[in-house]
Chain A
Amino acid sequence: MFFWLLAALLTLAASLAVMKPFLRKADKDAAAGEHDIAVYRDQLRELDEEVRRGLISESDAAEARAEIGRKILRLTKAQEKSGAAPQHAKLAGAIAMAAVLAVPVVSWGLYAMLGSPGLPTLPLQARLQQDPSGASLDELIARTEAHLADNPEDARGWEVLAPVYARLGRYGDAIAAYRRTIALAGATADREAGLGEAMVGQSGGVVTADAEAAFRRAMDLDKANSRARFYTAMARAQEGRHEEARAIWQEMSESLPDDSPWKGVAGQALANLAAAQQQRAGAGAAGPSQEDIAAAGNMEPEARQEMIEGMVASLDAKLRDNPADPEGWRRLLRSYVVLGRRGEAADALGRALAALGAESAEGQALTEFAGTLGITAVR
């Protein structure tokens, strides 16, 4: 209500501004010519000044004076010719009326179209001081963040925040929060495993070396940590060492108590693994890692995969032309395994060994590397 009152007052002020010239008595202004004469008179004065300074010779000055004089003469003649401008008082009144009316019509009409008059301002400070019971998750996080900005040594706060970040997909923040917690309050199996899980989230579902190191630290602290065990198995599965993965998951789904959430998750993973292997046996091409990538692909645009495949293809082509590049072969093998194209990986290994020599140091290193991926050469 108060808003509309203020808006009405503003509109009134604007309309008054339009009306102002009509509200006071008209005084006649000087004709345009008089303004010109003033300028010429100024110029004559400047000319005198320049003569006084010796910047211009007396004869030049005389010439300039004559020229200005001629201009003044011409102007006076022109003024005598032109009569007074016509007056259309009625028309002017109508135009003024239209102008005054246009102000409220245009402004209120447009504002009704564009504005959100009901929406109050929401300064952040005021929002954060409201009763927390009705606050959204985002608001609670913001409160905690504000608290931690003032008390960065509060390990408890970081520990609460870390899994919330991970849940929301803010993996970078989650990793930072876990690291902070570990730095302030020391490592526990849960914290390390949480850190590893956030890293897995950040890399789109792939268990990276950093993540695996975190899981290993967790299991050093507590051999039975379910989260760490689960992801260690996933790391094996992603490397293609399915039997090792199966063994861990099998053990988890059998030995964990029924109320553990990890029991079901491990069982599901086992089922996925079996289904994927069956499919692979049938179709040959698609492997389980393909699905891992597809799972990761929930966040990644499909285009990225296409791009990676394009790059892998060009890397393959390049290595055909120039095979003396062990680092390149290594990259190619790893890429094929991640893409789930194990057959092609094996084929590539064969070509690499043929080019580098299976008995050479480089060849042996490559064979060993392929072994960690579960690849042996076809030949």
Chain B
Amino acid sequence: MTRKQKRLAIIGTGMGFLALAAGLTFYALGQQTSYFYMPADLLSQHAAAGERIRLGGLVQPGSIKRGEGTRVRFVVADSENEVEVVYQGILPDLFREEQGVVTEGTLGSDGVFVADTVLAKHDETYMPREVAERLKEEGVWQEQ
């Protein structure tokens, strides 16, 4: 191989990997990202049943119901809408009524959100960012 060919071989391999990486990245960004919704958003824009999304809002007071075993139902709400959520597992330490929460999962065709992950704020001063921003926009929540 000449010097030129060697260099071409290396550059070619490099470009090949870059193309592969770029292709994978674009495909994955199209498929594997989840959008963030507040309950109010679900009124205006419809999330397809089965699409993986994040749903955030405040846990409605009095809405937490323990079912059989480890199954929990609660309602995530903002000022305009509310969504019922079912979740199986251990709720985070700071999951409480009237606290911000972000859940991840899919919306069922019956309008009930089936969550596989529940993230509550991790300390007293930290509210899930998306939730805090939207609630501030809506004027229903202020930083203490």
Separation in Å of the A176 CB from the closest CB of chain B?
18
Interface residue total, chain A, C-beta cutoff 8 A = 11
Binding site for A on B (CB under 8 A): 58, 60-62, 77-82, 98, 139-142, 144
- A311 and B141 contact, CB distance less than 8 A: no
Stretch at the interface among A68-76, A246-254, A302-310: A302-310
Q: Helix, strand, loop or mixed for chain A's interface?
A: helix
- Complex contacts, B78 vs chain A, CB 8 Å: 310
Separation in Å of the A327 CB from the closest CB of chain B?
9
In whole angstroms, how far apart are the Cα atoms of A318 and B62 in the complex? 15
Known contacts A311-B60, A311-B61, A331-B62; A303 and B81 CB within 8 A of each other: no
Separation in Å of the B135 CB from the closest CB of chain A?
8
- Is A57 an interface residue when CB atoms closer than 8 A count as contact? no
Known contacts A311-B61, A311-B77; A318 and B139 CB within 8 A of each other: no
Most chain B CB neighbours (cut-off 10 Å) among A304, A306, A307, A331: A307
Q: Which residue of chain A is the closest to B78 with respect to CB atoms? A: A310
Q: Which residue of chain B is the closest to A310 with respect to CB atoms? A: B79
- Is A86 an interface residue when CB atoms closer than 8 A count as contact? no
- Complex contacts, B139 vs chain A, CB 8 Å: 303, 306
Contact of A314 among B62, B77, B141, B142 (CB under 8 A): B77
Contact of B58 among A301, A306, A307, A331 (CB under 8 A): A307
Known contacts A303-B140, A307-B140; A314 and B58 CB within 8 A of each other: no
- Complex contacts, A304 vs chain B, CB 8 Å: 98
- B77 and A301 contact, CB distance less than 8 A: no
- B142 and A301 contact, CB distance less than 8 A: yes
Known contacts A301-B142, A303-B141, A307-B140; A314 and B61 CB within 8 A of each other: no
- A307 and B82 contact, CB distance less than 8 A: no
- Complex contacts, B141 vs chain A, CB 8 Å: 303, 307
Separation in Å of the B64 CB from the closest CB of chain A?
13
Cross-chain pair count, CB within 8 angstroms: 32
- A306 and B62 contact, CB distance less than 8 A: no
Q: Which residue of chain A is the closest to B81 with respect to CB atoms? A: A314
- B77 and A306 contact, CB distance less than 8 A: no
B-contact 0/1 string along A287-312, CB 8 Å cutoff: 00000000000000101101110110
Separation in Å of the A311 CB from the closest CB of chain B?
6
Separation in Å of the A307 CB from the closest CB of chain B?
4
In whole angstroms, how far apart are the Cα atoms of A271 and B119 in the complex? 48
Known contacts A311-B77, A314-B77; A301 and B61 CB within 8 A of each other: no
The 10 closest A-B pairs by CB, nearest first: A310-B79, A307-B140, A303-B142, A301-B142, A314-B82, A331-B62, A303-B141, A311-B77, A306-B140, A311-B60
- Complex contacts, B80 vs chain A, CB 8 Å: 310, 314
Separation in Å of the B118 CB from the closest CB of chain A?
20
In whole angstroms, how far apart are the Cα atoms of A311 and B83 in the complex? 12
Q: Which residue of chain A is the closest to B58 with respect to CB atoms? A: A307
Give me 20 A-to-B residue pairs in the complex whose CB atoms sit less than 8 angstroms apart, sorted by A's number: A301-B142, A301-B144, A303-B139, A303-B140, A303-B141, A303-B142, A306-B79, A306-B140, A307-B58, A307-B79, A307-B140, A307-B141, A310-B140, A311-B61, A311-B77, A311-B79, A314-B79, A314-B81, A318-B82, A331-B62
- Complex contacts, B142 vs chain A, CB 8 Å: 301, 303
In whole angstroms, how far apart are the Cα atoms of A132 and B134 in the complex? 50
In whole angstroms, how far apart are the Cα atoms of A311 and B82 in the complex? 8
In whole angstroms, how far apart are the Cα atoms of A307 and B58 in the complex? 10
- Complex contacts, A301 vs chain B, CB 8 Å: 142, 144
Separation in Å of the B140 CB from the closest CB of chain A?
4
Please report which residues of chain A, range 307-327, place their CB below 8 angstroms from some CB of chain B when the two chains form the complex: 307-308, 310-311, 314, 318
B-contact 0/1 string along A316-350, CB 8 Å cutoff: 00100000000000010000000000000000000
Q: Which residue of chain A is the closest to B60 with respect to CB atoms? A: A311
- Complex contacts, B62 vs chain A, CB 8 Å: 331
Q: Which residue of chain A is the closest to B144 with respect to CB atoms? A: A301
- Complex contacts, B60 vs chain A, CB 8 Å: 311
Separation in Å of the A202 CB from the closest CB of chain B?
15
- Complex contacts, B79 vs chain A, CB 8 Å: 306-307, 310-311, 314
Separation in Å of the B65 CB from the closest CB of chain A?
9
Separation in Å of the A314 CB from the closest CB of chain B?
5
In whole angstroms, how far apart are the Cα atoms of A270 and B140 in the complex? 34
In whole angstroms, how far apart are the Cα atoms of A331 and B141 in the complex? 22
Separation in Å of the A317 CB from the closest CB of chain B?
10
Q: A306-B79, A311-B79, A314-B79 are in contact. List 10 more A-B contacts (CB 8 A).
A: A301-B142, A301-B144, A303-B139, A303-B141, A304-B98, A307-B140, A310-B78, A310-B140, A314-B81, A318-B82
In whole angstroms, how far apart are the Cα atoms of A214 and B91 in the complex? 31
Q: Which residue of chain B is the closest to A318 with respect to CB atoms? A: B82
Q: Which residue of chain B is the closest to A330 with respect to CB atoms? A: B62
Separation in Å of the B82 CB from the closest CB of chain A?
5
